[in-house]
Amino acid sequence: MVRRTREALVVAAMVAGLAACGSGGAAEDGRTLTFWTFQPLTPQGGQILERLRTDFEKANGVTVKLVQIPKDDYNTKLGTAIASKNVPDGGYLDQPLVSRYALDGTILQVPAGTIDEKEFYAGGLETNKVGGRLYGVPLDITTVGLYYNKKLVPTPPRTWDELKQAAESVHRADPKTAGIVVPKGDGYGAWMWPGFVAGAGGTLVDEKAKKVTFDEQPAVDALQLWVDLLKSSPRSITDADKAFENGLAAMTISGPWDISTIRDQFPDLDFGVAPLPYKNEPASNIGGENAVVFTGTKNADLAWKWLKHLTTPDNSVALAEAVGGYPANIEGAGIAAAKMGPEHAVFIEALKATRARPAVPQWIQINDEIIAPALESALTGKVAPRQALSEAGAKARTLLGWNG
């Protein structure tokens, strides 16, 4: 759903270079751990994971079998494996799918003491929690920020008011230049929008109370902000190819995956990155990959040990380098920040304020088929933000079977 472009380029790179699904040496206790990963595109990520695998095998006298599956086919193949009762011991799982698999009993709850939750970013852990219980561990996490053209916006805005003022100032000075590339009402835009809702002090749902909240005032304010920004950021300008990179828009919202692309393809663009502007409190959205252990495994203890191995501070840094995200381990993120440039440091700092998507099995459908069209209907002026979200909220309640 989200991050599809980046995933195609970097997430799968994590397991590149693995010549086969298994390893060579014999396991001292005769056990083999099967772990599913995304298929690689380049060798760099696979070389990293190969080292992590080899270290684990030597330390534990076991064999780790890594099965590579194309990202776009992963969930389908996993569903088939579950239906045939032929699941691996563990594997990757997209953040929004954890609740579905936890509630239908497909994945195991993380045993107490497996990890120290204080060592991980709260947002990353929350993507693995259902009903307050932990069902997986975050492998890597990412978020979005505000890219700004330093020539047009010397000082990045911190608040919504400053954001609107900066966008208006740019467009007023040159009507052919947009203030910001306003996200669209699609799956990607709907993934980013919750960061603005949280920045206004709002939420999307109250899972415990079974109540939809993305049609309440903070969410209406967030959508109204996007609508207001269009006055200084017309789509007739921002729909151009790479509007920000080509100097047609002063600001845009994106993730860390664009840093190297802009530097390589637009070396003359003097840009910076800042946290998402907010109304009441700093906040942002979250993406990334989790790892889980499947019900029915005979190697649960070994699988949890493997996941703990992958998420130690040093190993989490290596893992994040392989997939293109950031360590979910706080100490590991600090190590990564010291090795990266200032733009990456901004994103890593923003990880403290990330908010997980709701832990309801239908969230991908709600994001793509209910929220996204509602955002677009307001952004195109068909209905007011409050009406758009009110109608979307009603649809979500019907889908979820909730009264609130």
Q: Where are the domains of the chain?
A: 4-142+286-353, 145-284+359-400
Check for a shared fold between 4-142+286-353 and 145-284+359-400. yes
Average pLDDT (108-135) is: 97
Phi/psi for 229 (5° steps) reads -65, -25
Phi/psi for 297 (5° steps) reads -65, 145
Three-state SS letters, 211-223: EECCCCHHHHHHH
- What is the torsional sign of CA 253, 259, 265, 269? positive
What is the per-residue pLDDT for 28?
58
Residue 102 pLDDT > 60: yes
Q: Which two tokens stand for residue 353?
A: 């304020």
**Are 347 and 335 a contacting pair, CB within 8 Å?**
no
Average pLDDT (83-102) is: 95
Which CATH architecture fits 145-284+359-400? 3-Layer(aba) Sandwich (3.40)
- Tell the burial category of 383 from Cβ atoms under 10 Å away from its Cβ (0-12, 13-18, 19+): middle
Q: How far is CA 384 from the centre of its chain?
A: 29
Average pLDDT (229-246) is: 98
Quick one: residue 275, left, alpha or beta (phi over 0 = left, psi -120 to 50 = alpha)? Answer: beta
What is the per-residue pLDDT for 323?
77
Alpha-carbon distance 231 to 179, whole Å?
9
Q: Which two tokens stand for residue 195?
A: 């960061």
Average pLDDT (266-283) is: 98
Average pLDDT (155-163) is: 98
pTM of the model: 0.90
The letter for the amino acid at 213 is T
Q: DSSP H helical segments within 266-371, as ranges? A: 300-310, 313-323, 330-339, 342-350, 363-365
Average pLDDT (182-205) is: 97
CA angle 67, 68, 70 (to 5 degrees): 145
Alpha-carbon distance 87 to 357, whole Å?
26
Reported as type and span, the H/E element at residue 263 is helix 257-265
Mean pLDDT across the chain: 91
Average pLDDT (319-326) is: 84
Q: Which two tokens stand for residue 221?
A: 């304010």
Residue 272 pLDDT > 70: yes
Average pLDDT (252-262) is: 96
Residue in 276, 190, 184 with CA at minimum distance from that of residue 239: 184
Question: For a pLDDT cut of 90, what percent of the chain falls above it?
Answer: 84
185 C-beta neighbours (distance < 10 Å), count: 21
What is the per-residue pLDDT for 219?
98
**Are 285 and 144 a contacting pair, CB within 8 Å?**
yes
Residue 12 pLDDT > 80: no
Residue 368 pLDDT > 80: yes
Q: Which residue would you say has higher pLDDT here, 339 or 331?
A: 331
Map residue 274 onto helix, strand or coil.
strand
Which CATH superfamily groups domain 4-142+286-353? Periplasmic binding protein-like II (3.40.190.10)
What is the per-residue pLDDT for 9?
37
Average pLDDT (255-275) is: 96
Alpha-carbon distance 31 to 295, whole Å?
17
7-16, 60-69, 275-284: which is most confident: 275-284
For residue 41, what pLDDT band results from cuts at 50, 70 and 90?
A: low
What is the per-residue pLDDT for 269?
98
Residue 85 to residues 32, 177, 294, Cα–Cα distance (Å) = 18, 57, 10
**Are 343 and 259 a contacting pair, CB within 8 Å?**
yes
At how many degrees (to 10) do helices 330-339 and 342-350 cross? 160
